[in-house]
Amino acid sequence: MGTAVDAATKGANGGLLDPKKVKVVFVLGGPGSGKGTQCANIVEHFGYTHLSAGDLLRAEIKSGSENGTMIQNMIKEGKIVPSEVTIKLLQKAMQESGNDKFLIDGFPRNEENRAAFEDVTKIEPEFVLFFECPEEEMERRLLSRNQGREDDNIETIRKRFRVFLESSLPVVEYYDSKGKVKKIDAAKPVGEVFEAVKVIFSKQD
């Protein structure tokens, strides 16, 4: 008797994830704020699984699946990939990981992403780890990473930064109003930044 209901509830949150048991931390910060480096440190020290929305989309495109082709075409046309598509990829990766603690990096990118994630997965993040970094510092870091291509990159970098401010900051503000944002001064050296990160995560476990 219970099987149909079980199947329905499984379908409702996309599989075997129990929203009550799953711990999700959204990691947000502008381009060059050092999120990737710190996520790697958190994985190593605190046993989280790191999921990057961008990496998952790129992997799906590479796989050559029908879904991947659709994503590729949307990106080519300059359209935003629908929230549901990204969320399904995140859910699949979460289920396959065998873990119940996740860092979701670079997502939600906007309010619509955020609302859809909570609606589809029934998961609210434990908190948002927000890497605050002045634009000049992020610019400096990105330019030193892209040596020799400075001229064509400065505009791209500034554009990415503007998009981040317009789209992602409302997400940070929403969670801030719920007392769920942990801000990190990301302009400091990597080691110091991780010390601040460690304090936050030590209190969680």
Cβ neighbors of 38 (< 8 A, separation 6 or more) are 27, 131, 184, 190, 193, 194, 197
* 81 assigned ligand-binding residue: yes
Q: Which tens digit of pLDDT belongs to each residue from 153-190? A: 677 778 878 878 888 889 999 999 999 999 999 989 88
Its pTM stands at 0.82
Mention every residue, 6+ apart, whose C-beta is less than 8 A from residue 124: 24, 118
107 assigned ligand-binding residue: yes
CA 202 to centroid of chain Cα atoms = 21
Question: Is omega for the bond preceding 108 within 30 degrees of 0, making it cis?
Answer: yes
- Flag whether 33 is marked binding: yes
Q: Is 158 annotated in some ligand binding site? A: no
Instruction: For residue 172, give both structure tokens.
Output: 């940070």
| Residue 32 annotated as binding site | yes
| pLDDT computed for residue 7 by the predictor | 34
User: Over the stretch 28-55, which tens digit does the pLDDT of each residue have?
Assistant: 988 888 888 899 999 999 999 999 998 9
User: Has 37 been labeled as part of a binding site?
Assistant: yes
34 assigned ligand-binding residue = yes
Has domain 23-202 been given CATH number 3.90.70.10? no
Where helices occur in the chain by DSSP H, the ranges are 2-12, 35-46, 53-63, 66-76, 83-97, 111-121, 135-145, 150-177, 190-204
**Is 79 marked as binding a ligand?**
yes
